[in-house]
Chains A and B, each alone.
Chain A
Amino acid sequence: MTLAPETSDLINVEIDGVEMNVPKGTLIIRAAELIGTEVPRFCDHPLLAPVAACRMCLVEIEGNPKPQPACAIELTPGMKVRTQRSSEVAEKAQQGVMEFLLANHPLDCPVCDKGGECPLQNQAMSAGRAESRHDIPKRIFDKPVPINTEILLDRERCVSCARCTRFADQIAGDPKLELLERGAKQQVGVANDEPFDSYFSGNTIQICPVGALTSSSYRFRARPFDLVSTPTTCEHCASGCSLRTDARRGEVTRRLAWHDADVNEDWNCDKGRFAFTYLSQDRINSPMIRENGELRVASWPEALDVAARGLRSAQGSTAVLTGGRLTMEDAYAYAKFARVVLGTDDIDFRARRSSSEEAAFLRASIAGDCGPTYADLDKAPIVLLVAFEPEDESPIVLLRLRAASLRRGLRVVALSPIASRGLEKIAGEWAPIAPGADAGALHALAQGGGDVPNGASIAEALRQPGAVILVGERIADVSGGPSAVAALAAATGARIGWVPRRAGERGALEAGALSGLLPGGRPLDDVHARAQLAQVWGVDAADLPTSVGRDGASIVSAAAAGGLGALVVGGLEPRDAAQPAAMRRALDNAGFVVSLETRRTEVTDRADVVLPVAVVTEKSGTFVDWEGRRRPFARVFGDALMMSDGRVLAMLADVMDSSIGRGDVKSLRNELDSLGPWTGARAVAPSDSAAAEQTGGPLLVTWRLLLDDAALQEGEPNLAGTRRRTVAVVSAATAASLGVAAGQRVTVTGPAGSVSMPVEIGSIVDNAVWLPSNASDCAIASLGVAPGQPVRVSGGAA
């Protein structure tokens, strides 16, 4: 709850005869909450600016002839307020407003989604009269009306509190939802040709105090009182949103943003809210082994036995690829399994484009470090965005930056070839650079600015205490990039926040699921670190790998070349890999593949043994968000039979006559915690030199849009309906030189293939083209070209 602006100025006031000291600027409604008095309200929301439109919260203020809205009046010293608890005037005023609110409200509670959790229902009981005197015909509207594919609007139920429209404008920065018409005909609406396509639109359903905005997917599916709710953490990205997962009869019916003032406040993004149908799709329910080229169902003992034999026979030539979606505990189990059971340090959690320089950077500058937090963003003098687009890659970071930008003009600078829509929303500054030229620009900033646009002022701001550099995982595409980020931080004192896309990456890093890195940020090549691990793991330190193992790319190329005896694979998709074809070859050519999976994938299609594991609703665990903050979550389905990766690995270890412990969440977490923080020397940050400037062009700029063709968004057409349209973005000059006009179709061709889509003129540097990485009609992986590399762009469809 936001009580008031931070201030030490306390004032003495009285509410319902209770004397209290509150910070200056506190609203009456918030102060009343402190003494347990809930003044009824509809339009009030702690995170939205007061509007005093619904008039539900009228209270009596001594000396004021009219009752006043508690949601909009700041307490002044000595103010005496009487709420409905002690004032007949306030009580009558509230009852009057309630009677009016119900006048035109349909009596359809029995079929309304909101029924049972409805502020209007609840407050009609607490602040209303038992019977209505209203008997004239109610106002009628056509209903429901879609405002986007996810949300249906019932205008008859709307009480015009304007929470949704204010959210769209003030929080999301997508002011596409507005109140239209006037008087009793006033209604929420969108422009005819422009639906409310916002990544955050689902929040309006949740903050609607009546059933006016309902979810297309959840509509008519459940009653709130039939749902079992579990506090959970979003598995989709590294923002770390607190969620509430509601389930009925073994099925998730909906997910809501849950309040966490330190992280997501009261919001989440539409992916986190709606993308959960994948959980029950294509599930693998029992172990399988490959026999005569075909997978067949096997018992657990049989499958574990086959897996154990396969791995044992490959001892000394094994590797582990975990993927970036595991919980911290499961990642820890893999990290331990690799070192203790397989005796290898060949492990990598990065099932995406990555580099060994990035790994070195993560080991040196991120792992085991308490980086900047959301609160630090609120206070920072400047936030520099490097290879990171917050709206698509970590939406709650965008909301925080936007709030700080609106509240106090936080300076956000994006070092990027393109000025994104997200940057526009946070009124950020664009420091344009050529694609792939990040490293050079970062070094220039480290040295005072160089020729970076506005460089001197950015460099100076970065030297102020509290400055933050937010770097995305795409920095791995820039050779010399991670080194340059570390160098800039060292030169300026700015703190680095590494914001990967996937929810499990930071946790995997902390758990040691990366070659050269033991749990707790311990360098593998440090003898004391190994000794600490050996003690906790109960093994001989001499049995642990001593030299830094291979990272993902080396593992894949070794396997593809037929040089790897066995591969243990967690949840990863070959199509996400830097080179999908190489990944598939690796899976085909590895001597033996054990796949721990939740569903049929390209990996299970190639595995020798498939061991089914739990999805997030079937296990508890912890995600670690980009801040390094632990986000534990509870199991939604307590009676689920599926085991977590950790449990399965523990059973496998047992069968292999080794042990990683019980492998359950609690013991894994306790064991990781017992290690404590690493206090020894850290790995040295990489100092790779910046890559030479690319020639030819246009050069490719790309990232994954929040809503795209990803596996975790499968089975939710309403969510897919709000995806952004696939376009290629070029500058006006580039368009002219290519001879294409806005709206025209272009074909972008790389060595391996081509994609075509309409072109748009945007704020992007010349000789560059931006494409979405993973749209259903634009899979960059099929081009066979890395970001920053030249592509061919030509007018017309392929």
Chain B
Amino acid sequence: MTLTPVITAHWDRPDLYTLAGYRAIGGYTALAKALQQEPDAIISTVKDTGLRGRGGAGFPTGLKWSFVPQNDGKPHYLVVNADESEPGACKDIPIMMATPHTLIEGVIISSYAIRANHAFIYIRGEVPQAIRRVAAAVREAEQAGLLGDNILGSGFNLRVTIHSGAGAYICGEETALLDSLEGRRGQPRLKPPFPAVAGLYASPTVVNNVETICNVPFIVNNGVEWFRKFGTEKSPGFKVFAISGHVNRPGIYEAPLGVTMRELLDYAGGMRGGRPVKFWLPGGSSVPMLTAEHLDLPLTYEEMAAAGTMLGTGTPMLFDDTVSVVRAVTRWLEFYKHESCGKCTPCREGTYWITGVLERFEHGHGSAAEIDTLVDLCDQIGGRSFCALGDAAATPYPAALKYFRNEFEAGTSQAAELEFAPAASYLFSEATAR
């Protein structure tokens, strides 16, 4: 399968991030087109494309939009989730850096469709350069009359507010993001009510991922059939894959959904030094790991689910045979322990506990009984916690155990670093050696 640059098509253009550069490649033509349609027509177009959310959960975007009650007399809001914090995920930030106007055009069209006159872009606080870039693009768009009152003479008004996160992974969870946006402590909210009914300031709100919104201008310009030519029946469209790990050319590769990991790996120049793939994750640390035997599976929502994992954010991480699974899993759990918001018991206490036990395995002090205890503990978190963050924390260990039980067994008597010297897995180790 070939690469299909759509969102990333003109990223080699140095001025793409400016309004002039974006206009030069046909930017904002979709907006003009969209504003001539009824909002409902856009919603049904997006629905017909079968576009699924690119933030991780893969919920159908058009369906989400259609949940927003219309003519309810309340303000509606569009909130763009740009709090990209998932370990291994690095696609939204590059998109915002490379082509912020694609996002803004998508925001205007999407807001128009759901009848929102105020949109918020909640950007991860650790990337001030992305915040500055999107803010500059918003200013440009305002000055050009693309934002503000009576956009392109359509009578549609829209304000866009950029909001910076303050360093909490939980704020990528959509309801926690809304709490944070309202100035509260970011913790997930009880659902129902869902954001589409009572979201930001208790008003109907759509929360979409950056990449999802960036699909919208292309859909408006090219239509449903064009979009459905990419991907599969259940996973239509293209995807910005951000590949990281022990590959020769890590980076952004845009391809239709259904491309295999092996194909993407080829584009990424294969594994460093020709080493074998030991394990890989299709989309961030929150999805269960796969191994080399899964490299030929199509990267779609349905095939990944069938393989017992998830497409997630579609940002594959690949690890070669220098990596200790025990160490990798321990690092991830340390992340979840650090980022658990504390609201619910299983995630708060479970991540603390599991991390403590995993650290013992990493140092060779685990016990055989604890291998099973950890499975139990993960069972006690997954499906029992308040939000998906807890579920995510419960995924790395069982998947790792499924494929690499021997390494955990080794962890009862031998420190991971003896078999897997940390330096060997460092990506800079070869450079340092030179």
Contact = CB atoms under 8 A, between A and B. Distances in A.
A51 B179 CA distance: 14
A103 interface: yes
Interface stretch (A4-12, A181-189, A537-545, A628-636): A181-189
A741 interface: no
B378 to A, nearest CB: 10
Nearest to A65: B383
Contacts of B343: 53, 160, 186
A183 B348 contact: yes
Contacts of B342: 160, 179, 181-186
Nearest to A137: B356
Contacts of B338: 183
Interface in B338-358: 338-346, 348-353, 356-357
A136 interface: yes
Contact of A183 (B337, B356, B383): B337
Contacts of A139: 352
A105 to B, nearest CB: 9
Contacts of A51: 190
B379 A96 contact: yes
Contacts of A136: 353, 356-357, 360
B386 interface: yes
Interface string A103-143: 11000000000000000000000000000011011010000
A182 B356 contact: no
A252 B190 CA distance: 42
B162 to A, nearest CB: 24
B163 interface: no
A96 B340 contact: no
A65 B379 CA distance: 14
A182 B383 CA distance: 21
A67 interface: yes
Interface in B144-172: 168, 170
A186 B346 CA distance: 14
A67 B339 CA distance: 24
B340 A182 contact: yes
Contacts of B345: 53-56, 97, 100-101, 159-160
Contact of B190 (A50, A58, A181): A50
B330 interface: no
Contacts of B373: 133
A510 interface: no
A99 interface: yes
A354 B241 CA distance: 81
Given A136-B356, A160-B343, A183-B342, A66 B383 contact: yes
Contacts of A66: 383-384
A184 B384 contact: no
A185 B340 CA distance: 10
Contacts of B185: 178-179
A59 to B, nearest CB: 12
B344 A103 contact: no
Given A97-B346, A100-B345, A183 B353 contact: no
Interface string B190-227: 10000000000000000000000000000000000000
Contacts of B81: none
B380 interface: yes
Contact of A103 (B339, B349, B383): B349
A66 B376 CA distance: 16
B297 to A, nearest CB: 24
Given A72-B190, A182-B170, A53 B349 contact: no
Contacts of A137: 356
Interface string A144-188: 000000000000000110000000000000000011011111100
Contact of B385 (A55, A134, A182, A186): A55
B337 A93 contact: no
- Contact-residue bracket for chain A: 35 or more
Contact of A55 (B341, B353, B386): B386
A494 interface: no
A99 B386 contact: no
Nearest to B391: A66
- Best-buried of B339, B348, B353 by chain A (most CB within 10 Å): B348
A21 B58 CA distance: 39
Interface residues of B, number: 31
Contacts of B349: 100-101, 103-104, 184
B167 to A, nearest CB: 11
A730 interface: no
Q: Name, among A51, A55, A72, A179, the residue most crowded by chain B CB atoms within 10 Å (CB to CB).
A: A55
A103 B341 contact: no
Interface string B260-292: 000000000000000000000000000000000
A32 interface: no
A690 interface: no
Interface in B366-416: 373, 376, 379-380, 383-386
Contact of A160 (B190, B348, B376): B348
A54 B344 CA distance: 5
A52 interface: yes
Contacts of A134: 353
B170 A55 contact: no
Given A51-B190, A182-B168, A96 B380 contact: yes
A363 B384 CA distance: 62
B340 A184 contact: yes
A100 B356 contact: no
Nearest to A54: B345
- Of B342, B346, B356, the most chain A CB neighbours within 10 A belong to B342
B52 to A, nearest CB: 20
A100 to B, nearest CB: 4
A78 to B, nearest CB: 18
Contacts of A181: 342
A200 to B, nearest CB: 23
A104 B380 CA distance: 16
B356 A52 contact: no
A183 B354 CA distance: 13
Contacts of B380: 93, 96-97, 99-100
B339 to A, nearest CB: 7
Contacts of B360: 136
Contacts of B341: 182-183, 186
Q: Which of A96, A99, A178, A182 has the most CB of B within 10 A?
A: A182
Interface string B315-342: 0000000000000000000000111111
B357 to A, nearest CB: 6
Given A54-B345, A100-B353, A136-B356, A183 B339 contact: yes
A184 B385 contact: no
A507 B397 CA distance: 68
Contacts of A103: 349, 352-353
A66 B391 CA distance: 11
A56 B376 CA distance: 17
Contacts of A54: 344-345
Contacts of A100: 345-346, 348-350, 353, 380
Given A72-B190, A136-B357, A58 B384 contact: yes
Contact of A52 (B337, B376, B383, B386): B386
A139 B343 CA distance: 17
- A56, A139, A185: which has the most chain B beta carbons within 10 Å? A185
Given A55-B346, A100-B346, A160-B342, A183 B384 contact: no
A264 B405 CA distance: 59
Contacts of A55: 344-346, 384-386
A425 to B, nearest CB: 20
Interface of B: 168, 170, 185, 190, 337-346, 348-353, 356-357, 360, 373, 376, 379-380, 383-386
* The 3 nearest A-B residue pairs measured at CB: A186-B342, A96-B380, A136-B356
6 contacts: A53-B386, A55-B385, A96-B376, A104-B349, A136-B357, A186-B341
Given A53-B386, A103-B353, A186-B342, 7 more contacts: A55-B384, A100-B346, A101-B349, A179-B185, A183-B348, A183-B351, A186-B341
